[in-house]
Amino acid sequence: MKIINKHFSHINSTNSWALQNAHTLDRDALTVINANEQSQGRGRLQRQWHSPAGTNLYASFCLFTGAELQTIANISQVLALACAELLATLSLAPTLKWPNDLLVNGKKIAGILSETKPIDETRLLVIGIGLNINMSEEELSNINKPATSVLIETSKEHNPQTILTLLEEKFQLYLETYLKEGFAAFHAAFTKLLRFDDEMEFSTDQIKVKGKIVKINPDGSIMIELKDGERKTFYYGEFV
Q: Interface with ligand BTN by CB under 6 A: which residues?
A: 13-15, 38, 41-44, 47, 49, 58-60, 101, 111-113, 128-130
**Least Å distance between CB 9 and ligand BTN?**
15
Instruction: Name the residue among 44, 35, 30, 3 with its Cα closest to residue 17.
Output: 35
The single-letter DSSP state of residue 118 is E
What is the H or E stretch that residue 166 is in?
Answer: helix 160-181
Burial environment of residue 15 by CB neighbours within 10 A (0 to 12, 13 to 18, 19 or more): buried
Closer by beta carbon to ligand BTN, 42 or else 170 = 42
Closer by beta carbon to ligand BTN, 103 or else 216 = 103
The single-letter DSSP state of residue 73 is H
**Least Å distance between CB 121 and ligand BTN?**
26
**Least Å distance between CB 65 and ligand BTN?**
18
Closer by beta carbon to ligand BTN, 60 or else 134 = 60
Closer by beta carbon to ligand BTN, 39 or else 177 = 39
CB 52 within 8 Å of CB 25 = no
**Least Å distance between CB 185 and ligand BTN?**
25
**Least Å distance between CB 107 and ligand BTN?**
13
Closer by beta carbon to ligand BTN, 176 or else 197 = 197
β-strands 3-11, 30-38 pairing: parallel
